[in-house]
Amino acid sequence: MDSALPSSEPRYSVVGSNVSLTPRQRTLIGLAEELGPRFAERAERYDREASFPFENYAELRAAGLLGLCVPEKFGGMGADLKTYSLVSATLGKYCGATALTFNMHACSTLWPGVLADDLEMTPEQRAEHERYRAVHFERVVRQGAVYAQPFSEGSAAAAGKAPFGTTAAKVDGGWLINGKKIFASLAGAADYYGVLCTEDKPERTMRDTLYMAVPGNSSGLEITGDWDPLGMRGTVSRTLLFNDVFVPDDAQMMPRGVYFQAASRWPHMFTTLSPTYMGIAIAAYAFTVRYLRGEVSGMPPVKRRMYPTKQIAVAEMHVKLEQTRALFLRMLDDARVDPSKDARLRAYATQFTVMENANDLCRLAIRTCGGQSMLKNLPLERLYRDSRCGALMLPWTAELCLDRIGREALYEPGEADD
Ligand SMILES: Cc1cc2nc3c(=O)[nH]c(=O)nc-3n(C[C@H](O)[C@H](O)[C@H](O)COP(=O)(O)OP(=O)(O)OC[C@H]3O[C@@H](n4cnc5c(N)ncnc54)[C@H](O)[C@@H]3O)c2cc1C
């Protein structure tokens, strides 16, 4: 996004106008808006080099935002899923790779934090969880640690259809982890990798999923493969290999069985990638308006807004953006444990809409603004490439959202054809 963009213009904000926000939400969105222009200035370099946005993380840390979703009783800001999403989408307007990687970190605190508070645990499990999560939150809040969230393996596991192939075997005082994770955003940059794996035991099922924090400097952990993708290049999502990596008992980010419960009962936990792309969609629209008005800094002040075809194209983009934003905001109000079927279907529909429309808005933006707009000295071509990645991200890819909507709209749980 043009870093000079007026953040006071409601059309370019994540919520638009006339949406009621808590004072805390307003402050946190304001904080992200303050950081954003500097993130936008650095975005071109991270993209060109496919390098991690370390400077942006230093600023997120200094602003206290690494603890955004850490509950207040553990010293964090206590943001819930909606508040997190509004902040994340605001960051996404300025640097997609920063927002996307921030998602991996923030969810590593949101899931064991406010989300886990809604889940059923025995008193023993609850006590165990309190003990373990205190360790993780302490690292984030006091030491400024960054967590990644690698769960993709190139199998059906990341789609939520099979147990993870990466295993954790119980040993004295901890666990031994073995396996492989692909597309691990923050590879080499994270202090801890929040790894989803399966307890090593006979007849493993998805109920045996464990969520473990593996220190980045663990012996037996190797980062391999190169990273030269189409978009989201600053995420540095390389491959992790785990070869007998030992972690202590308190590496567990959720007690046994609780991740499976979260994935079944708190489906909105999988919507948290969409805010990044909501931000990119807004950025593409805002760029187009400013470009056609001759207001993009560093460009000659040539106006192109007087051509009827441009006006129609902007109108089409405006309609698509409003539809996307409206559904996004509606979905955030649904987010809770055990949502209704209607809300669950809307969550899939929102993820599909945000991911597909972000890319379509970028496509329309380039077609409308024309050849000069896609040169590398302007952000639009990067927005276009970054936006292409959203629909591919598991577990809720655009395809899998359609798959789930179609099936769940036509069948009740457990229902079969005669
Ligand atoms: C920029 C970027 C950053 C990423 N960061 C992370 C990260 O930090 N952590 C992480 O865990 N992952 C991350 N991912 C990985 C991402 O979530 C996907 O796992 C990955 O893109 C899947 O690639 P694949 O080719 O192996 O997919 P495949 O498993 O081959 O699937 C290809 C497509 O087939 C469909 N499909 C897959 N399984 C099924 C099924 N069982 N039934 C029906 N259809 C199915 C889906 O639509 C999917 O898009 C990242 C990806 C990108 C692009």
- DSSP track, 353-392: HHHHHHHHHHHHHHHHH-GGGGSTTSSHHHHHHHHTTGGG
Cβ–ligand 1 distance for 161 under 6 Å, the answer yes
Cα 152 to averaged position of ligand 1 atoms, centre (Å): 7
Cβ of residue 157 lying under 6 Å from some atom of ligand 1: no
CA distance 121 to 118: 9
What digits encode the pLDDT tens for the residues 243-289? 999 999 999 999 999 999 999 999 999 999 999 999 999 999 999 99
Ligand 1, atom 16, residue with closest C-alpha = 393
Quote the ligand 1 centre to 210 CA distance (angstroms). 20
Report the candidate in 103, 185, 148, 93 with the shortest Cα–Cα distance to residue 382.
93
pTM, two decimals, is 0.97
Please state the φ and ψ torsions of residue 199, each to the nearest 5 degrees.
-65, 130
Q: Which of the four pLDDT bands, split at 50, 70 and 90, describes residue 21?
A: very high
Q: What is the pLDDT of residues 28-81, one digit of tens each?
A: 999 999 999 999 999 999 999 999 999 999 999 999 999 999 999 999 999 999
DSSP secondary structure of 298-333:
TS-----TTSHHHHHHHHHHHHHHHHHHHHHHHHHH
Task: Kindly give the distance from the C-alpha atom of residue 394 to the centroid of ligand 1, in angstroms, as a whole number.
Answer: 4
- Ligand 1 centroid – CA 212 distance (Å): 21
393 ligand 1 Cβ < 6 A: yes
Tokens of 61: 């840390």
d(CA 122, CA 266): 18
| pLDDT given for residue 6 in this prediction | 58
